Structure 1
Amino acid sequence: MPPVPPPRDTIFAPATGRGRAAIAVIRVSGPAADAALLSLAGDLPEPRRAVLRDLSCGGELLDQALVIRFAAGASFTGEDTFEIQGHGGPATVSALLNALGALPGLRLAEPGEFTRRALEAGRIDLLEAEGLADLVGAETEAQRRQALRSMRGALGDAAAGWRKRLIRARALVEAVMDFADEEVPTDVTPEVSALIASVSAEIAEALAGAAAAERIRDGFEVALIGAPNAGKSTLLNALARRDAALTSEIAGTTRDVIEVHMDLAGLPVTLLDTAGLRETQDPVEAMGVARARRRAEDADLRIFLQAPGGEGPPGDLLQPDDLLVASKSDLPGAPVRADLRISAATGDGVEVLTAAIGDRLAERAAGASSVVRARHRRALEEGATHLSAAARWLARGEEALDVAAEELRLSTRALEILLGRVDAERVLDDIFAEFCLGK
């Protein structure tokens, strides 16, 4: 007889941020939740109904708050749960948390522990949990929309459908193997081939938009490059609307890459102010120039600034979609061939440049799929590799059906890893560390 696992702790945590507020929410989940609520409120309200209760501990009134109770099997975590929606003063919240912590069997939750219990109870899958983490951390409109799609199962539903088709394909192949000595009424190869082809095509389409989706989640990088004194730092400050970078007429002022995170056209963008590109004998500045080139090469978009009389763009660095910008248009000098003309000092043309950057990044974001994390991409790439191998072995005929079946099994397993149904433990700690307390 297998050993009986010990009862789980009942966890609690504030679900709203610290500080003075009108309302604070505290969540409690676990086998002792009903007992804790009975101790604080004096009764157990009807599930899923908000009621006003006086909450007390040791005969002392702590708060008058709304309480909502959820029965096991009908809550987010799948356990007995209740929420307190009380007054948001720090002293009130502290008193309620202290009262909960003093009750037997209760402890403060770890980051993400509520969501982890929901996953373990089968209330959500791993992809939905990741989408929830991304939604909590979303800072731009594009991130919010993408995270909401993930949380509502955009990729999970697709992966579950692919898995179902591959299970059927494998079952058909194994049926032929099991009845190899008997007459099989139909040739299953066309149906199996069609199933493999359809799933392969859909996975390939999802992977095609993975790079854009990952950039929406992690942020696009836009590098400002150009010769010394081309106006890069001044433009960075103008776009950031603050003095993020030191500006000076002395060439070589910027020696390291300065990063500024901002919301641009609803997209997360990191602006990179780089060292001026030039030959220099100063070893420190030379390291800054080398680093500038590396970051510019890896950036999603490069904005090359050329001041009147300045050097032209390096032909080995600019890509076709990059922007060539004539800077310091308020100063006299020979006109420069450019896509746009700006003066960061006066603000002339800066809004036009901002719109141009937004348009270029929006074009790239438009092709984003639901594959928003490197983990998703790696799992789908592994699944696609095994699918391709399965198709090749299937084409060899009956003598290779066992290998084709194994490749189909491995492809299905990659999708199950994606969904968190197998081997999930190795990624859970990293994923749930992203959550705050009470989520």
Structure 2
Amino acid sequence: MYFIRCWRRSTAVVTSIRSIPAKRLLCSGSEDDTVFALSSGQGRCGVAVVRVSGPSSALAVRSLTRVLPAARIASLRSIIHPQTQELLDRGLVLWFPGPRSFTGEDCAEFHIHGGPAVINGVLQALGSLPGLRPAEAGEFTRRAFSAGKLDLTEVEGLGDLIHAETEAQRRQALRQMAGDLGRIYQDWSDRLKRCLAHVEAFIDFSEDELVEDGILNDVDVAVRQLQTQIGDHLSDQRRGERLRTGVQVVIAGSTNAGKSSLLNMLTQRPAAIVSPTAGTTRDVVEVPLDMGGYPVLLSDTAGLRDTTDSVEQEGVRRARQRCGDPLLGNPSLTQTRHRTHLQKSTEALHQYHHYRDVDLVLAAEGLRLALSSLGRITGKVGAEEILDVIFKDFCIGK
């Protein structure tokens, strides 16, 4: 069910969605389903983790192990197929009754041996139980979001942590997953709510002299402070985005200047052919590096010179294309949505100042739009249209 608030206005009626229906935040199955999936990586390994989440999690544990273990205590159990009574494995079983679980629902984990036959046997056993189905990609995390366990910035931090390849990426992902970024946006949202409430009160009750003098001046000061802080936040030269996606470094110059030798020295292996003959490098040679915890894509290119060799000409053309304007081409989509919503929020705050002395109703609408844009970052407002984009990078079981 949608919850709609109608704002009392003489000039217009403005509606805002106050919450998103929980069922539509989930994947194609019902929120009443119990889902299961392999939550550890694919392939042979010493230990694999199979996660179960939903109202029938306790039934699943009892069906495969006969006894529900104590909450949040690892218990060694024989894992048995509920239909054939065949012993599938012996492993650790953990029971997490909701809401104190990752998803906020009743959850269980089976820590089993990582051979494909064992994993398939346990997954088939779970699939034979009524009310259980395989989880869709990102569904555990999506359920955690629906239960209020994570906001969208924390969800993105979890995704970044899963895909982190360097130390600096790991640290940044952990900070975001811990809610550092979300707390900044939530603080701004709380302050904007207060400003909006004061303007609303002035509109509705100033004629009755129930509002203190100077309240709008306080709002003006608060809005300007928010504009300054959001502006400073946007003026980060995309450091966080560069860290997530990596930095591309191109080695370019004249022929036989030592470009390939430099590449080999940095990579500490013969990644590029080195020869005294000019024009040895024809194509672009790319090598990913971890430099001080930052991901770097190092590119060795053909020497920049005039040549009649058609193959070398193509190499020079590709080299020039890699030293071009970094603003050309499509920008990274990793955290671009944060930047977009923050810019929209800033524009809406300008609308407040523009209409402040002309039409206070329109000025208040500027604050409301700014609040809505901030809410879209954390998922507090209008999150549904961006959920698929965020969760599509998750693997099943994450």
Native 8 Å contact 1:222 1:299 kept in 2? no
Q: Give the structure 2 partner of residue 149 of structure 1.
A: 175
Question: What is the CA-CA distance between 1:283 and the residue it aligns to?
Answer: 4.9
Q: Give the structure 2 partner of residue 198 of structure 1.
A: 225
- Let me know the Cα RMSD of the aligned residues: 2.4
Q: How does 1:229-308 map to 2 (within 5 A)?
A: 229-298=256-325
Question: What is the CA-CA distance between 1:372 and the residue it aligns to?
Answer: 7.1
Q: Give the structure 1 partner of residue 386 of structure 2.
A: 427
CA distance in 2, matches of 1:134, 1:22: 25
Of 226, 232, 244, 1:217 maps to: 244
Q: Structure 2: which amino acid aligns with 1:66? A: L
Q: Give the structure 2 partner of residue 366 of structure 1.
A: none
Q: Could you report, residue by residue, the CA deviation over 1:147-173 in whole angstroms, capped at 9, with x for unpaired residues?
A: 001001111111111011111111111
Q: Give the structure 2 partner of residue 26 of structure 1.
A: 50
CA distance in 2, matches of 1:422, 1:185: 31
Q: How does 1:358-369 map to 2 (within 5 A)?
A: none
CA pair 283-402 structure 1, distance change in 2 beyond 3 A: farther
Q: Structure 2: which amino acid aligns with 1:103? A: L
CA distance in 2, matches of 1:119, 1:81: 15
Q: Give the structure 2 partner of residue 46 of structure 1.
A: 70
CA distance in 1, matches of 2:362, 2:248: 44
Native 8 Å contact 1:25 1:84 kept in 2? yes
Question: What is the CA-CA distance between 1:71 and the residue it aligns to?
Answer: 1.3
CA distance in 2, matches of 1:427, 1:85: 33
Question: What is the CA-CA distance between 1:268 and the residue it aligns to?
Answer: 0.8
Native 8 Å contact 2:169 2:294 kept in 1? yes
Q: Secondary structure at the match of 1:181?
A: helix
Q: Could you report, residue by residue, the CA deviation over 1:116-162 in whole angstroms, capped at 9, with x for unpaired residues?
A: 11111111111100000001111111100100010011111111110
Q: Secondary structure at the match of 2:230?
A: helix
1:123 partnered with 2:149: yes
Q: Secondary structure at the match of 2:80?
A: strand
Q: Could you report, residue by residue, the CA deviation over 1:285-323 in whole angstroms, capped at 9, with x for unpaired residues?
A: 4443333223223469xxxxxxxxxxxxxxxxxxxxxxx
CA distance in 2, matches of 1:268, 1:131: 17
CA distance in 2, matches of 1:372, 1:152: 18
Q: How does 1:20-419 map to 2 (within 5 A)?
A: 20-57=44-81, 58-183=84-209, 184-209=211-236, 211-298=238-325, 373-394=335-356, 397=357, 399-419=358-378
Question: What is the CA-CA distance between 1:210 and the residue it aligns to?
Answer: 5.3
CA distance in 2, matches of 1:249, 1:299: 32
Native 8 Å contact 2:245 2:334 kept in 1? no
Q: Greater shift after overlay, 143-152 or 49-58? A: 49-58
Q: Structure 2: which amino acid aligns with 1:405? A: A
CA distance in 1, matches of 2:31, 2:384: 20
CA pair 404-156 structure 1, distance change in 2 beyond 3 A: same
Q: Structure 1: which amino acid aligns with 2:129? A: L
Question: What is the CA-CA distance between 1:393 and the residue it aligns to?
Answer: 2.7
Q: Could you report, residue by residue, the CA deviation over 1:23-47 in whole angstroms, capped at 9, with x for unpaired residues?
A: 2211111222111111101022222
Native 8 Å contact 2:279 2:302 kept in 1? yes
TM-score when normalising by structure 1: 0.78
Identity %: 48
CA distance in 2, matches of 1:247, 1:186: 77
Question: What is the CA-CA distance between 1:408 and the residue it aligns to?
Answer: 0.6
Question: What is the CA-CA distance between 1:180 and the residue it aligns to?
Answer: 4.6
Q: Could you report, residue by residue, the CA deviation over 1:214-240 in whole angstroms, capped at 9, with x for unpaired residues?
A: 111110111101112222123212222
CA distance in 2, matches of 1:287, 1:404: 57
Native 8 Å contact 2:352 2:362 kept in 1? yes
Q: Give the structure 2 partner of residue 311 of structure 1.
A: none
CA distance in 2, matches of 1:268, 1:298: 20
CA distance in 2, matches of 1:258, 1:384: 42
CA distance in 1, matches of 2:369, 2:319: 43
Q: Structure 2: which amino acid aligns with 1:393? A: Y
CA distance in 2, matches of 1:256, 1:426: 42
After the TM superposition, list the runs of 4 or more consecutive aligned residues in structure 1 that deviate by more than 6 angstroms.
none
Native 8 Å contact 1:11 1:106 kept in 2? yes
Question: What is the CA-CA distance between 1:72 and the residue it aligns to?
Answer: 2.4
CA distance in 1, matches of 2:63, 2:381: 40
Q: Could you report, residue by residue, the CA deviation over 1:51-87 in whole angstroms, capped at 9, with x for unpaired residues?
A: 2211101211111111111112221111111001122
CA distance in 2, matches of 1:246, 1:99: 54
Question: What is the CA-CA distance between 1:263 and the residue it aligns to?
Answer: 0.3
Question: What is the CA-CA distance between 1:284 and the residue it aligns to?
Answer: 4.8
Q: Secondary structure at the match of 1:179?
A: helix
Aligned length: 365
CA pair 282-427 structure 1, distance change in 2 beyond 3 A: farther
Q: Greater shift after overlay, 49-58 or 279-288? A: 279-288
Q: Structure 1: which amino acid aligns with 2:193? A: I
Question: What is the CA-CA distance between 1:424 and the residue it aligns to?
Answer: 2.0
CA distance in 1, matches of 2:379, 2:315: 43
Q: Structure 2: which amino acid aligns with 1:380? A: L
Q: Could you report, residue by residue, the CA deviation over 1:361-381 in whole angstroms, capped at 9, with x for unpaired residues?
A: xxxxxxxxxx97111111111
Native 8 Å contact 1:210 1:377 kept in 2? no
Q: Which runs of 5+ in 2 are unaligned?
A: 3-21, 24-29, 328-332
TM-score when normalising by structure 2: 0.85
